[in-house]
Amino acid sequence: MDRKRGFEIAKGWEDKNINLPKRTTKHAAGYDFEAAESIVVPAFKPGMAPTLIKTGIKAYMQDDEMLCLYNRSSNPKKKGLVLANSVGIIDKDYYGNPDNDGHIMFAFWNFKDEDIKIEKGERIGQGIFQKYLVTDDDNAEGERKGGFGSTDANK
């Protein structure tokens, strides 16, 4: 079988009962991601960093594709959770990187007045594979050197 795109368990998470993302209805665009472990997302205070929720998942895809990470529509109202970066972008070359093997994490802020507990296996967000285009004069040849947030390290 020719592999085009999909999900795998990231290194170090193989024995942790991680579920691969899946769509729950045949017309759903997004694959539901679950929390790989229970975690508390503290109530927001100015200056604090977002909380990274681990999924234990990595994604492979074609050269002209990306995986976009989106919040669940119920998270802001029910839990006060918003994605710190609005939309997460997983590039093809994030897969298998030497820093974290391409482990996908969701970065959340909690705008409720109280801390929010996320349980292992709870759905936290969704991922949608998308094609992207490049400009006529594109000549990007840089190579990823690390994991999470590393693409700006090439500057």
DSSP conformation class of 123? E
Instruction: Kindly state the helix (H) or strand (E) to which residue 4 belongs, with its residue range.
Output: none
Chain position carrying tokens 């976009």: 68
From first to last of its 155 residues, the chain has per-residue pLDDT tens of 789 999 999 999 999 999 999 999 999 999 999 999 999 999 999 999 999 999 999 999 999 999 999 999 999 999 999 999 999 999 999 999 999 999 999 999 999 999 999 999 999 999 999 999 999 998 877 665 655 555 554 44
The three-state secondary structure class of 24 is coil
109 forms beta bridges with: 82
Domains in the chain, CATH or no CATH each: 6-132 (2.70.40.10)
Report residue 93 CA to chain centroid gap: 14
At residue 20, φ and ψ (nearest 5 deg) are -70, 145
CA separation for the pair 58, 77 (Å, rounded)? 28
